[in-house]
Amino acid sequence: MTIILGLVVMLGCMLGGFMAMGGHVEVLWQPWEFVIILGTSLGTFIVANPMKVIKDTGKGLGEAFGNAAPSGRQYLDIMGLLYSLMRELRSKPRNEVEKHIDMPEESPIFQKFASVLKNKDLTTFICDYCRLIIIGNARTHEVEALMDEEIQTLRNDRLKAYQALSNVADGLPAIGIIAAVLGVVKAMGAITEPPEVLGHLIGAALVGTFAGIFFSYGVFSPLATKVKSGREKQMRLYIVTKQTLLAFMNGAMPQVAVEYGRKTISAYERPTIDEVEAETLGGGGGEAKKAA
C-alpha cells in the first residue's frame, strides 16, 4: 500500500509541477522511448542473473507490494514453538523428541504453529539445531559459529533479488542516454524539416534521458530497497531462534530462553512479555484457537 501511495505522490508532484511551469504532459508520452529503456533493462537483467534469481526477484517484488514482513503473530508463533520444543527436550526421552524434528509436518507441536511450518527453510533451521542439542556433545560456541555462518549464507541468498534490482536501477540512467541518442539520430535524419517538427523530435529524444533517471531513482531503486527491508526483517526470525536455542544450551530455563529471543526483535514489532507468557504457557496456536 505504501508503494502505491508513494508512486501517486511522486507522479502527482512531478507532473503537477511540470504542468504548473507551463509544460505539456502529452510531450512526455513517448512509448517507444519507454520500450527501448525498459526492454533493454529487462534484457540485461536476464543476461546478468540465473533463472533462480529471476524467479526470486519476482517473488521479492510480490513480497514488497504485499508488505510480507513478519507480523507480531509470527513472532509469537516462533517463540511458542521454541518454548514447546525446549520443554520436550528437557522432559522427554530422546526418541520421543526426535519424532517432532524428524517429521515436523506430522508433529502436533509444529502443527499448532502454522506460520512457522509454512516456512520450510525456517523449519529446517530449527530442526537441524534441535537435533544437534539432542546429540548432546556439541559445544555452544561451535553451534553459535555454525548458526552465524548459516544465517549469513541464507541472508546472502535472500538479498540476491535486491542486488539484481539495484543493478537494474544503476544501469537505467545510461540506458536512458542510449534512448536519447537514438532519438537524436532520428531527429538528425529530419534536419531539413521545419523548426517546430525538429524541436518536437529533439524534445521526444530528451524524454529518454528523463525516463532513464526517473525509472532508476523513482521506481527501481526504491523497490530494491523495499525488497531488502522485507527480506532483512524475515531474517529476524532466524536471529530469534538462534538466541533462544543458545540461551537454552547455556542452561537457561525455556521461559527465560524465550526472553533472550524476544529481546532481539525490533521494538516496533516486539511482543510484550505478557503476550509471550500467554502464548507459551497457554500452549500456543493462538490463531488456531480463534478459528476453533
Give the model confidence (pLDDT) of 158-169 as tens digits.
Answer: 999 999 999 999
First to last CA, the chain: 31
Distance CA 292, CA 282 (A): 15
pLDDT number for residue 217: 92
Q: What residues in the chain have per-residue pLDDT under 50?
A: 287-292
Q: Where are the domains of the chain?
A: 31-106+115-283
Sequence-distant (6+) residues with CB within 8 A of 130 are 85, 89, 97, 101, 245
Burial class (CB within 10 angstroms; exposed 0-12, middle 13-18, buried 19+) of 64: buried
Rounded to the nearest 10°, the torsion over CA 272, 274, 278, 279 is 20
Cell 540512467 maps to which residue?
173
The structure's pTM equals: 0.83
Q: Where are the beta strands (DSSP E) in the chain?
A: none
Distance CA 27, CA 202 (A): 11
pLDDT number for residue 286: 53
pLDDT number for residue 289: 47
Is residue 27 within 8 A of residue 204, CB to CB? The reply is yes
Identity (one letter) of the amino acid at 31? Answer: P
Distance CA 252, CA 244 (A): 9
pLDDT number for residue 290: 46
pLDDT number for residue 224: 95
- 284 Rama class: left (phi>0) / alpha (psi -120 to 50) / beta: left
pLDDT number for residue 292: 37
**In 157-174, which positions are buried (b, 16+ CB within 10 angstroms) versus exposed (e)?**
ebbbbbbbbbbbbebbbe
Burial class (CB within 10 angstroms; exposed 0-12, middle 13-18, buried 19+) of 53: middle
